[in-house]
Amino acid sequence: MADARMPTPAPGGVAVPATRSGLADSVHRFFDSDVWFSFKRSPVTIGAAAVTLIYFLMALFGPWIAPHDPFDLAKLDLLDSLIPPAWMADGEARFPLGTDDQGRDLLSAIIYGSRVSLVIGFASVLLSMVIGIGLGLISGFVGGAIDAFIMRMAEIQLSFPAILVALLINGVIIGYFKTHPEWQVDQVTLAYVVLVLSIGLSNWVQYARTVRGSTLVERNKEYVQAAHVIGIHPVKIMWRHILPNVMGPVLVIATIQLALAVITEATLSFLGVGVPPTEPSLGTLIRVGNDYLFSGEWWVTIFPGAALAILVLAVNLLGDWLRDALNPKLR
């Protein structure tokens, strides 16, 4: 029987190579691309990618890899509170990084807290991308009064710090639900939704301005003009023809914005307007530990703070590399 992978003889005796499947061809082209070549030649980027992957795996498999469940109140014991790390004199091996004021294992709390921070960060970045890309495409493609209106709204929002915009949105939503008790909403779910909306609605401007600039360039190119001539609907032109060609800068912004979203969530939680203490994020853990920083229990805030700093640094390094790798002028 002939091997299916062997070249197929064509009429005239000329061998025609067998075609790869779509997925295999895409993978092959990726490993032959300049992006992969740049990645494997940068030890810093490889290290940042490894650290980021570890955080994602911890967030994904947190309930299975955490030594303890910090949410299981039946297993918490106040007698275990403020135990130092295992390598200190009074430390215990079952609590490698020590415990907090409620007797929760700090390592487990950091794993679960990273999970909360990454979920909120991803959801808020996705919301910002949807809003910013949509408004940027409309602004750049349609132009005129619509373009002017969207850009003036963006400039107005840029005049306020993102954290203040997030605090304003957070306060309005929370205040609305407090004045309308007929809306029965789970407090944890409400906190998640409010954080995502607060962070997402305060960071859409960067996407909109970037996509608008790229769209202004793309809409005058021949392939867009040809699509107009053959009668393709403008929405389909934006979605199928222009959007794929403006996604490079968007991916760079999204990577960097993920780190900013995690920091913003930690800041809001540190200020007491984020997730409740029963659902500890990294910001909540830092806020709780801040009360014990100068009383000798330094580990309660130092370890969550270090976990947050390492995550943000790794994601930022990936974003810097991706910006350089996707910019032909820097190759």
pTM over cut 0.85? no
Q: What is the pLDDT of residue 231?
A: 86
CA distance 180 to 240: 43
Q: What is the pLDDT of residue 22?
A: 62
What six digits make up the tokens of 174?
A: 């929370």
118-171 per-position pLDDT tens digit: 999 999 999 999 999 999 999 999 988 999 999 999 999 888 887 888 888 888
Longest dimension (CA), the chain: 87
Pairing of the two strands 8-9 and 15-16? antiparallel
223-235 per-position pLDDT tens digit: 888 888 888 888 8
11-65 per-position pLDDT tens digit: 554 444 444 556 677 667 766 777 777 888 889 999 999 999 999 998 889 889 9
Q: Are 132 and 206 in contact (CB under 8 A)?
A: yes
Q: Are 238 and 136 in contact (CB under 8 A)?
A: no
**Adjacent-strand bridge partners of 99:** 105
CA distance 129 to 218: 19
What six digits make up the tokens of 327?
A: 């910019």
The 3-class SS string of 80-114 reads HCCCCCCCCCCCCCCCCCCECCCCCEHHHHHHHHH
